[in-house]
Structure 1
Amino acid sequence: MQRIYSAVLKQHLEKNHQMAFLSGPRQVGKTTISIQIANAVEHSKSLNWDITKDRALILGSVEGVIDGLPIDALMETQPLLIFDEIHKYDEWKNYLKGFIDQYKAKLDIIVTGSAKLNVVRRGGDSLMGRYFLYRIHPVSVRELLSTKLVENEISPPKKITDEQFDALVNFGGFPEPFTKQDKHFYNQWQSLRQEQMLKEDIFTGEKIQNLSQLQVLAELLKHQVGGQVRFSELAKKVRVADTTIRRWMTILETYYYCFSIKPYTKNVARSLIKEPKIFLWDWSVVPNQGAKVENFIASHLLKAVQYWTDLGFGHYDLFYLRDKDKHEVDFLITKDNKPWILIEVKSSAQEKLSKNLLYFQEQIKASHVFQLAFDMPYVDIDCFIATAPVIVSARTFLSQLI
């Protein structure tokens, strides 16, 4: 399956000398994307920390790692070296720092990982300036329609068929189950993926002692989607301390099981400050249809803001709006720290324009204000020509993102 991230990586290798970090959930396609790039260059080598002989090479001499790559030859494209899951090595950051400092003029380097690469930017980053991070997301509406690089954040609308749209909602955006669209395979794949994530990645990597209780938390979160996280309530249900729930939630986010969205507070009267809303990376497992719809939209919005940020369009972020008087709007996208797109999600096109959209728009003055109707057919009109709050087709709107 062709992904837009292949074009992103190709462009990166042509323009930049920094390492390319591909970070994202298990089985989202990181390895496949890097292999596609490797197949397009004359000389490449891939090392996977999970493979014993590759791990021995990494822990051995640098000469053994680069053996077979013509690093001193004058060529149109540099040799490519791929490190897969190297974040499982305790000294991985120092290892890569030494490697890129020695060979950045002779090698292109791609690093992939299903965790921790996304937190490398926090304090004490020894790799600062040596890599660009690309966060890989599941397939989205726009990516099904086009995998070409975009020059602007917003693209012209493009029609998605009802069959494609329904399959994306029901089978999720992870490439393998979406491509197969077989319910039996989907169920088997889901069970295996969750078991690998919880038992192999988290249980081993984070030394969690109470795996069964962590599994309970993961299951409970499926029923919390779109709601504000009440840590004390979850602690009572799982029967662990409040601090433990907070730590486990951070771990589940680190390993791409879920993500949280914080409330936007700037220029919002009586705004909430602390409570995040929770969503899953795989919207297809959300049992409640209304919550699944909201998660589907949230995932598309998160993909868009992270893609735009990673590709250098500017700094984008995703929030929700809620005040102490219980006025609420589902999502706000900010662009360079200013309100840009205000979004309310509704299942039906028959629902009236939300008064809360108008209420918050008066306060924050977002450039665009949309109510997305999930059941509304595709409309071949650019949503972003609207200058006032408007109800639009979710299919049309999502086709204009990433």
Structure 2
Amino acid sequence: MKRYLDEQVRQDLQKKMVVLTGPRQVGKTTLSRQLVGELAGAQYLNYDVAAHRAVMLAQSWRQSAPLLVLDEIHKMRDWKAWLKGVADGRAPDQQLLVTGSARMDTFRQSGESLAGRYFRLRLHPLSVREWAEQAQVSPHAALTHLLERGGFPEPALAKSNDEAQRWRNDYFAGLVREDVLEFSRLQEVNAMRLFAEMLRARVGSPLSLASIARDLNLSPVTLAKYLDILEALFIVFVVRPWHRNIARATLQAPKVYFYDTGLVQGDDGVRFENLVACHLLKNVQWQQDTRGAPVELHYIRTKDEAEVDFCLSQGDTLTHLVECKLSDAKPHRALARFAEQWPQAQAVQLLRECRAEADLGRLQLRDAASWLAALDV
């Protein structure tokens, strides 16, 4: 399957080491093996495979390999110092691709710095644009498919919804049982599983860790740590309220979304909002990783509880206000209010079922499928 990062990875490998991260089973290994297949003598090594791990620890891979792929090295102790040595000691013409299913800037860091040695790229699940191109269907059909299956390649490509659901059950259980254990103690796994299950029913709402902590008989500090781990493993991502003062925004309640929309427990509106969140984050991180753009994803909520689902910022300037609705073409009151308050921002009300697009003052009513398909990735 062709992915949106394929060509970018090829281009970046010509210049520096590439660190490719993203959720487990999002397609990193497939992308890597496709690249290995294109170059005679290229070599792929996975730290999870015992035989591969032995080669990696001994650094006995083929020095003549034009491309060396090292997968899951974040599980190695002092991986950062080790990778620095590998990068500095490789042959001048050897390309180096490092992949992992955890944020490699978060856990088990050493004092060594990889600054200036690599390009970072983050691979996301399939978008409306990608699936429409892959399956040769309309954006509306692609949106419907992704709402049913989620954007991970295996369930998206599955022959039936039952197959997709079987994959998802195993996927979620494996994430909590195996990956979380890499960064936490065994006795914490059950508590974190319960926490992750509770988050599935709280998508799109301001998150009160204190309330959940009482339910689980844990401290909010412990739950904040668990949330950091779930973020680092690309299970969930956090959207924080927008404020020019970063410290104030951090103190306000975040909203949590899942990379896999299929994991969301909620009505069609909540699942739709989660899918839009995934698309916006994917687009933001594409701009950050490939252009160095200072763009961010947030939401807006005021003291009088007026709220808009999402906003995009560049530096300290709002560029987009986005509200998600299934079919309500009536202008969202808070969106209209904020559109007047920040006239430089494009105010868009995305409709899952849109009979006719319209411009109502500063507010734009847009068909969600077409709008999402027009994003960069």
Same fold (TM over 0.5): yes
Alpha-carbon distance in 2 for matches of 1:297, 1:247: 26
Q: Give 1:256's aligned amino acid.
A: F
1:66-85 aligned within 5 A: 66-67=62-63, 69=64, 79-85=66-72
Aligned to 2:57: 59
Change (3 A) 1:120 1:195: closer
Give the CA deviation at 1:125: 5.8
Change (3 A) 1:235 1:271: closer
Which secondary structure does the structure 2 equivalent of 1:66 belong to? coil
CA offsets, 1:329-385, max 9 Å, x none?
11111124421111111111x331112122223333333110101112697xxx9x9
Structure 2 portions without partners, runs of 5+: none
1:203–1:397 Cα change, 3 Å: same
Q: Do structure 1's residue 136 and structure 2's residue 116 form an aligned pair?
A: no
Deviations 1:29-86 (A, max 9, x none): 00001111111122300111011111111111x3x1234x25xxxxxxxx00000001
Moved more, 236-245 or 134-143: 236-245
- Letter paired with 1:180: A
If the length of structure 1 is used for normalisation, what is the TM-score? 0.86
Which of 330, 354, 369 is the matching residue for 1:352?
A: 330
TM-aligned CA deviation for residue 12 of structure 1: 1.5
Distance in 1, Cα, partners of 2:315 & 2:109: 20
Q: How does 1:206-285 map to 2 (within 5 A)?
A: 206-266=184-244, 273-285=251-263
Of residues 130-139 and 119-128 in structure 1, the stretch that sits farther from structure 2 once superposed is 119-128
* Structure 2 residue aligned with 1:7: 7
2:101 & 2:355 partners in 1: Cα distance?
A: 36
Q: 2:322 aligns with which of 332, 343, 357?
A: 343
Q: Which amino acid aligns with 2:143?
A: F
Identity %: 32
Counterpart code for 1:215: R
Matches of 2:110 and 2:243, distance apart in 1:
25
Indicate the larger mover: 355-364 or 233-242.
Answer: 355-364
Would the alpha carbon gap of residues 163 and 358 (structure 1) be closer, same or farther in structure 2, given more than 3 Å must change? closer
| Equivalent residues of 2:339, 2:345 under 8 A apart | no
* Bigger relative contact order (CA 8 A; separation at least 6): 1
Q: 1:182 aligns to what?
A: 160
**Match among 319, 323, 337 for residue 298 of structure 2:** 319
One-letter code of the match for 2:89?
Q
Q: Give CA deviations for 1:179-237 in whole Å, capped at 9, x if unaligned.
A: 11412211221121112211111124322423222111111101100001101111112
Instruction: Find out whether 1:93 has 2:80 as its counterpart.
Output: yes
Q: 1:267 to 1:203 in 2, by over 3 A?
A: closer
In angstroms, what is the RMSD of aligned CA positions? 2.6
Is it true that 1:394 corresponds to 2:372 in the alignment? Answer: no
For the pair 1:36 / 2:23, whether they are aligned, the reply is no
Contact 2:203 2:257 in 1 (8 A): yes
1:153 is aligned to: none
Q: CA offset at residue 264 of structure 1?
A: 0.6
Q: How far apart are residue 118 of structure 1 and its match?
A: 4.8
Q: Helix, strand or coil for the counterpart of 2:61?
A: helix
What is aligned with 1:205?
A: 183
The amino acid of 2:61's aligned partner reads V
SS of the residue 1:233 aligns to: helix
Q: Letter of the aligned partner of 2:3 in structure 1?
A: R
Shift of residue 271 of structure 1?
8.2
> Aligned pair in 2 of structure 1 residues 338, 125: CA closer, same or farther (>3 Å)?
farther
Shift in CA distance, 368/54, structure 1 to aligned 2, threshold 3 Å:
same
Aligned to 1:206, the other structure's residue is in SS state coil
Question: One-letter code of the match for 1:355?
Answer: R
Deviations along 1:237-264, one digit per CA (max 9) or x if unpaired, are 2221111111111111111111111111
- What is the TM-score with the length of structure 2 in the denominator? 0.92
Deviations, residues 262-313 of structure 1 (Å, cap 9, x unaligned): 1111299x98952111111111121212211110100000000001111115
- Please point out which of 91, 98, 103 is paired with 1:111: 98
| Secondary structure of the corresponding residue to residue 333 of structure 1 | strand
Question: Contact between 1:265 and 1:273, CA under 8 Å: does it hold in 2?
Answer: no
Alignment of 1:304 with 2:291, yes or no, is no
1:25 and 2:23 aligned: yes
Report the 3-state secondary structure (helix = DSSP H, G, I; strand = E; otherwise coil) of the residue aligned with 1:320: strand
Q: Distance in 2 between matches of 1:182 and 1:94?
A: 45
Give, in whole Å, the separation in 1 of the partners of 2:361 and 2:130: 27
Instruction: Give the structure 2 partner of residue 75 of structure 1.
Output: none
Aligned length: 373
What's the secondary structure of 1:395's corresponding residue? Answer: helix
Between the aligned partners of 1:246 and 1:306, the Cα distance in structure 2 is: 23
State the alpha-carbon separation in 2 of the partners of residues 378 and 6 from structure 1. 36
Q: Distance in 2 between matches of 1:113 and 1:104?
A: 23
* 2:19 counterpart letter in structure 1: F
More deviation in 270-279 or 215-224? 270-279
Shift of the 271–43 alpha-carbon distance from structure 1 to 2, 3 Å rule, reads closer
Match of 1:299, as an amino acid? Answer: C
Shift of 1:10: 1.6
Letter in 1 for 2:271: K
Describe the SS at the equivalent of 2:291.
coil
- Per the TM alignment, residue 101 of structure 1 is displaced from its structure 2 partner at its CA by 1.1
**Match for 1:265: what amino acid?**
H
Aligned-partner Cα distance in 2 for 1:112–1:387:
47
SS in 1 for 2:5: helix
